[in-house]
Amino acid sequence: MAIILLYPVAIFLSFLFLYHWRWNKTSFITNWPIIGMLPGFLLNASHVHEYLTSLLKFYGGTFEFQGGWLTGIKLLITSDHMNIHHICSKNFPNYGKGRKFREIFDVLGDGIFSSDHDSWKYQRKLLQTLLKDNKFKLFFEEVVKGKVEKGLIPVLDHVSSLGIEVDLQDVFQRFTFDSVCLMVLGYDPNCLSIELPKVAHSNAFDEVEESLLYRHLVPERWWKLQRRLQIGSEKKLLHAWKVFDEFVYECISTKREEQNLVKKEQLKFNLFTAIVMEEQEGEMSSNITQSNKFLRDTTINLLAAGRDTISSGLTWFFWLVATHPSVEAKILEEIKKHLVDNDKWRVSNIDELSKLVYLHGAICETLRLFPPVPFEHKCSAKSDILPSGHYIKPKTRIIYSLYSMGRMESIWGTDCLEFRPERWISEHGGIVHVPSFKFIAFNAGARTCLGKDITFVQMKIIASAILWNYRVQVVEGHPVSPSISVILHMKHGLKVRISKRFV
């Protein structure tokens, strides 16, 4: 306890050190006695992703973060694509999520994002089977197109008719939360309506994400003491966690009752029902889904994947397109050619979306610069040597920065900071393939995101529907910067004005 109480004193002293350090041009970060490099990160916490990028550039793509004996934090941080190829693919068995990840992201339980070894293999195989099923593909298309027509369009028509500002990020979060709840649970919370109602369990998601990043920026003992005392960000996290768990367990209970009362052939398709049926009747039967805890963890992982990543990507996409008129013009030209009949937008089938090559490039370029998940964790099982030459001890915690990778000249060239969809289009008009360990937005190797294809489909449907039917103008003077969260939201939302393109 005495050591924990020294933290505030140490941080205060570190700011005194930093007063002098900030004038020192010989290095970007100083490893102080006792407190290590922690002061530099705390001082730059408000723009941590940009700060981390500057450090990685300075140190050649990889450096060891020393938190000092007082903090107990020791990490290897990298944006070197060859290191990431080695970690995610070449020596994948040596690098799992590890115990520390599961402690930090305890809200995810034992779901696919935090599990390792046999548990991870089982869950991935189960979800892979379901996402490839034609029933899911048809259901997914029905949900997304239905939510566009009955939710998104009415809301945008309403705000455009009133001429009022709207937070487009909030609209997208409502859209994706409704959609993913329908796909996973067969339940529509109707967050996306003209009234834009407050929904406690949706807002709880944001509060959890902010608190989880805080756990990355302070010593482990610090946030664990806060959790024990139920103060600060940990109090906020526990409350949000409780709110969301109540929502999920209530949905599970409802679905259980429905399955007991309704004949199997009459059950409406959703991932929850499909998971239970597949696990009980398929080749993988092991009665795991009899546990509400397993279903709770699976549900929360799927909801997190389907809500925040897509809403974040869409928000940054519309900001980039709205501030690059030439890109918008090319996308509109492509939509008119492939998705428009008599000036009316339509998507009759998903295959049509593959013709939108330039839009695909613009989405890839968005995800390159603003990956929804800005960093990933790994932990070594055995000793190893990375391609960069760094020696890895057993149980070494590794963080690779997806955000920084999109800003590395060594990967993307001297124009890496430019938003240029053309870099994704070949001379013959096709999509340029970039290895996943370079274009890392969907992770790489064995843990590559299972939802990659449906993410592109959903983003293309929403993007084409909005761009063809409306003009989106960012409110003048609106500040745009990444939030301090484990998901790359916009800190202040995206305030825009919407007007109909065709009257």
Binding site feature residues for heme: 449
Of residues 62, 65, 55, the one with CA closest to residue 78? 62
**How far, in whole angstroms, is CA 143 from its chain's centroid?**
21
- Strands 95-96 and 375-380 turn out to be antiparallel
- How far apart are the C-alpha atoms of 334 and 363, rounded to whole Å? 14
265: tokens are 């052939």
Q: Which neighbouring-strand residues pair with 500?
A: 470
CB 488 within 8 A of CB 375: no
- How far apart are the C-alpha atoms of 146 and 13, rounded to whole Å? 57
168: tokens are 């487009």
Query: What does the longest C-alpha to C-alpha distance in the chain come to?
Result: 73
Q: Which residues contact 383 (CB under 8 A, 6 or more apart)?
A: 391, 392, 393, 394
CB 173 within 8 A of CB 307: yes
CB 474 within 8 A of CB 323: yes
| Helix H or strand E segment including 165 | strand 165-167
CB 88 within 8 A of CB 445: yes
Q: Positive or negative, the Cα torsion across 74, 80, 84, 86?
A: negative
- Strands 470-474 and 340-341 turn out to be unpaired
Query: Any idea what DSSP says for residue 501?
Result: S
Q: Which neighbouring-strand residues pair with 344?
A: 341
Report the amino acid identity of residue 167.
D
Q: Which residues contact 433 (CB under 8 A, 6 or more apart)?
A: none
Backbone angles phi, psi at 382, to 5 degrees: -125, 170
Sequential DSSP letters for 374-391: -EEEEEESS-EE-TTS-E
Q: Which residues contact 286 (CB under 8 A, 6 or more apart)?
A: 122, 279
CB 382 within 8 A of CB 94: yes
If DSSP codes are grouped into helix, strand and coil, which group holds residue 399? Answer: strand
Binding site feature residues: 449
CB 236 within 8 A of CB 15: no
